[in-house]
Amino acid sequence: MHALPEIQSRFYAAMLLPQSESALDDLLLGQAIKNARRIAAYRRNIKVNLCGALALTYPVTQRIVGEVFFREAARAHALLEPSRSGDLNDYGANFASFIEGYAHAAALPYLADVARLEWQLQTLALAADAEASATTGVAPFAALATTPPDRYAALYFECDRVVVRMNSSWPLNEIWRVNQPDFFGDMQIDFTQDCRLLLWRTPRGTQLSALSKAEAALLDELLAGRALAGAVEMALEQDADFDLGTSLQRWIAAGVLRGAFFDLERS
């Protein structure tokens, strides 16, 4: 009599590990050839489901390389890294790293970063709602409206917790834009450009925006919980003509910055 954990372990091996197709042979009744066919059918279905889950998570990656290329890459990834969760939304976290080392994708050096972007967007879309802002009230930005620049060292922002900052050596925002299903226009991209991105979530879904170097420096400081004075200093190091007011208005309107408050003890 075999213990249940052993049977489960052997079933897992038979389904997902290439070298373990016969792991269940001594446990199955009936004709060996029929059992082998049934096991093969299970294995095919699992691989199809895993590849399908990757296609749903990485539609832009698939659009760039084509369905046949993507399906073969997904199959190779599934053999190396089977699912370890009952939720297929969790599958594919390491697909970008796989693409980075996938010999057949070597001619597309930006592809791994595209996959990283797509995983971040999925993670953001599925993230739990952040707790209500502590500064939410009648005037969450009252402190900002009445603060002179010489008091910025004591002024902090409460930021949306469901936000992702991402940098890339490639123009991911442009690659993403021209590979949307509803895009009709000039597909030409300047691949010599890098990018800094902010990803966040709204009631309309996940949003993606390219940032200037100065704006990225400002947001990195504010999202890290640092005072406005230091954030402005970092932004001005990138661009002496940086427009702080316009940038703050943009991210307040987007909901990324949710409130402003004084903290004299931290200043």
8-36: per-residue pLDDT in tens? Answer: 566 656 666 555 556 566 566 566 666 66
Q: Is 138 helix (H, G, I), strand (E, B) or coil?
A: coil
CA neighbor of 198 nearest in space, from 170, 173, 235: 173
User: In the chain, what are the domain boundaries?
Assistant: 1-110
> Distance between CA atoms of 174 and 21, rounded to whole angstroms?
44
The b-or-e profile of 196-226 (16+ CB within 10 A means b, else e) is bbbbbbeeeebebebbeebbbbbbbbbbeee
- What digits encode the pLDDT tens for the residues 70-111? 999 998 998 888 777 777 788 899 999 999 999 999 999 999
> Distance between CA atoms of 209 and 211, rounded to whole angstroms?
6
CB atoms within 10 A of CB 118: 22
First to last CA, the chain: 68
Sheet holding 195-202, edge to edge: 163-168, 195-202, 205-210
- What digits encode the pLDDT tens for the residues 139-157? 688 888 888 888 899 999 9
Which pTM was predicted?
0.82
